[in-house]
Structure 1
Amino acid sequence: MDRFHEMQVFLAVAEEESFAAAARRLKTSPPSVTRAIAAMEQRIGTQLLARTTRSLHLTEAGQRYLEDCRRILAELNEAEEAAAGSYSIPCGQLTVTAPVLFGELYVAPLLGAYLDRFPLVNINALLVDRVVNMTDEGVDVAVRIGHLQEPGQQAIQVGEVRRVVCASPGYLDRHGRPQHPTQLREAKIATSSASQLISAWQFVDGEQALTVPIEPRLVVTANNAAINLARIGWGMTRVLSYQVAAAVAAGELEIVLDAFEPAPLPIQVVFQKGARVPAKVQTFVDFLTQHFAQDRGLNPAPQRPN
């Protein structure tokens, strides 16, 4: 068994934390995985994986070797792609990630047009409300909201979003429009458990930061559910401006307390920095940035009172 294959086996075992799961991932048998790890440890002369009957974890030497394996295999893959011409012709599998709702509204509609333009590329899109480790999960391009750049990555800002408080006009007519964030303590609030804004909301009062504790009466698992509750007049919610842009434009929701909003969050397209960028990555980044730059909804400006 060659060393590169051994490295691939070791990487699979380390990431899956299981010989059996690694075998399934590699489409081979568990005994062959066990033999590969044993041969690797014997040749190197040190233990890479500590095993018990119930668990498996990396030793200190194994952790260092894992990092080296990832780097070496990435360089090997890069060399093969270069030889195959992938640095000049967009081709192969492209893995992208974005937050769920942003991905559904802004990224997914562009994927078909990109694929039609570059027929040798296939796309795997991970729309998840968590920060994906691009290296560990093999992600080529990430669309991220906020300052979420990892070391060794390049980020291009393509817009910004505000953190807005909103409710239906009917709810505000019945309960009044808050003039100061502290009045939110008396409001019926729905929020999402996917948000970090469950126990306190941040504002700016003049030049001073202001934190307002909130006690949401209803916590749901998705932003869309909280937004729909606000749309039908049940209460108020706080989300990112792009998530309610259509409802605000249609008059279904109204933004309040915009004079107290904190600084907007950047929308960034993130990819691995390097001397050479695969054509599939570069063309997709260019495609996204071009379209996002033309979308006014991604560069909103709060309407300040006269």
Structure 2
Amino acid sequence: MSVGDVPMVESQMEFLYFYNQLFQNGTGGGMDKHSDMAILVAVVDAGGFSPAARALNLTHSAISKRIQRLEDRLGAQLLTRTTRFMQLTEMGMVYVREARVILDKIQALERVVSSDAEAPRGSIRVSASNVFGRHFVTPALVGFLDRYPEIKIDLVLTDEFVDLKQDRIDVAIRIGRMPVVEHSCVKLGESPRTLCASPVYLDVYGKPEVRSDLVKHIRLKLNFDTEMNDLSEMTEPSLRGQASSRFTCNSVEAIHTACLAGHGIALLPDYLVAQDIADGRLISLFSPAPDSLVPSIYAVVNYKETLPARLKILLDYISKTLVAKAQGSPWWASVEASG
């Protein structure tokens, strides 16, 4: 079955079941036009009439009649179906895409209203960078799952930029300058960065004495557009972008490894290099960036309206866990010094 750009989401299926049950329990088991919409989305997500019928606790024939009733009312064919094949029509893809928006809003409203009456529940899809995600976000989420057993977490770790809408991310944990965006941003902490090199590299190429010397040195950079490649606060405008680069990668951890091995100078987060600097494996170059340029650790939330209770609780838990885990570490000392 082809469903175009209308991907399945587990929490959506859970809600469709709830929504269908709500109408089944009404007078005479009657369903209105909105439940027909929900059933169509269930069919698309389940991949067919039979699996959707099982998920919604309905018969195959009941599902078929609801889809037919919806098409008759709209005067448009939404599904092309044979005994072996089923595919959304072009109009069906448009309808399902917009139906998801409506159903998501109903689901969000139900959860916001009921959040004070019951324990937090539901699914949260979270994204974070690889290294920070493994060392800080993942431990926080594991503890969060222990405390809130009715919540499910779907974690995506990547160093590349994630589009919240396209990738259906509820919360993205990011590090950088907090932008003004259409989503809500919540500051969780700060993450200073240090320009550094290994003693081996500096023995061969010398230590830059002034910022303009950086153009004579080898840079280690990520191979996609990111603030991690930005040395604007450390160089004169006329000199930016002139430093050569022998190694690029899409992983901060790989850049860190290359830096330790003496292959160049890198701008790296303190949570990754603070211990190396304390132990002498890396040397910090120049003074820290001004406070106004210290990147923030922040969460971008894919909600324009009231946050569900589970997201509020998650953000508060991550923020407190981050501070508790970091205190006493060389990284936290750099955070306190920058703030």
Normalised by the size of structure 1, how large is the TM-score? 0.72
Q: Does 1:219 align with 2:248?
A: yes
Q: Which residue of 2 aligns with 1:16?
A: none
**Unpaired runs of 5+ in structure 2?**
1-30, 54-60, 80-87
Pick closer, same or farther for the CA change 1:40–1:241 going to 2, 3 Å.
farther
Give unpaired runs (5+ residues) of structure 1.
14-18, 50-55
- Structure 1's 205 and 174: CA in aligned 2 closer, same or farther, altered over 3 A? closer
User: Which entry has the higher C-alpha Rg, 1 or 2?
Assistant: 2
1:23 lines up with 2:58 in the alignment: no
- 1:111–1:260 CA distance, 2 compared to 1 (3 A): closer
* 1:284 lines up with 2:314 in the alignment: yes
User: What's the secondary structure of 1:133's corresponding residue?
Assistant: coil
1:96–1:126 Cα contact (<8 Å) kept: yes
- Cα distance, 1:94 vs structure 2: 2.4
Residue 163 (structure 2) aligns with: 133
Q: Does 1:251 align with 2:280?
A: yes
Which structure has more helix as a fraction of its residues? 2
Cα distance between partner residues in 2 of 1:48 and 1:179: 68
Inter-CA distance 210–189: structure 2 relative to 1 (3 Å threshold): closer
Partner of residue 107, structure 1: 137
| Residue 196 (structure 2) aligns with | 166
- Conserved in 2, the CA contact under 8 Å of 1:204 and 1:210? no
Q: How does 1:90-239 map to 2 (within 5 A)?
A: 90-146=120-176, 147-148=178-179, 150-151=181-182, 153-194=183-224, 196=226, 201-204=230-233, 211-239=240-268
Which residue is equivalent to 2:305?
274
1:217 CA displacement: 0.9
- Normalized against structure 2, the TM-score is what? 0.66
Secondary structure of residue in 1 paired with 2:218: coil
The answer to whether 1:241 aligns with 2:270 is yes
CA separation of 1:221/1:97 partners in 2, compared to 1, >3 Å: closer, same or farther? closer
Q: Please state whether the residue corresponding to 2:195 is helix, strand or coil.
A: strand
Cα distance, 1:88–1:186 mapped onto 2, change above 3 Å: same
The one-letter code of the counterpart of 2:305 is G
| 1:300 maps onto 2:335 in alignment | yes
The structure with the largest strand share of the pair is: 1
Identity %: 26
Q: Secondary structure at the match of 1:159?
A: strand
CA contact (8 A) 2:159 2:250 kept: no
Look up the match of 2:4.
Answer: none
Superposed CA offset, 1:266-296 (max 9, x none): 2112333534x33322211111122234535
Change (3 A) 1:75 1:302: same
Are the aligned partners of 1:187 and 1:236 in contact in 2 as well (CA < 8 Å)? Answer: yes
AA matched with 1:265? P
- In 1, the alpha carbon distance for the partners of 2:165 and 2:74 equals 25
1:301, distance to aligned residue in structure 2 (A) = 6.3
Q: Secondary structure at the match of 1:213?
A: coil
2:299 and 2:133 map into 1 onto residues whose CA distance is 12
Shift, 1:108, TM fit: 0.8
Amino acid of the residue matched to residue 254 of structure 2?
A: A
Name the counterpart of 2:27.
none
Is contact 2:215-2:239 (8 Å) kept? Answer: no
1:202–1:209 CA contact under 8 A, matched in 2: no
1:89 aligns with 2:119: yes
AA paired with 2:190?
A: E
Letter in structure 2 aligned against 1:178:
P
Provide closer, same or farther for how the CA distance between residues 256 and 77 of structure 1 changes in structure 2, counting only shifts above 3 A.
Answer: same
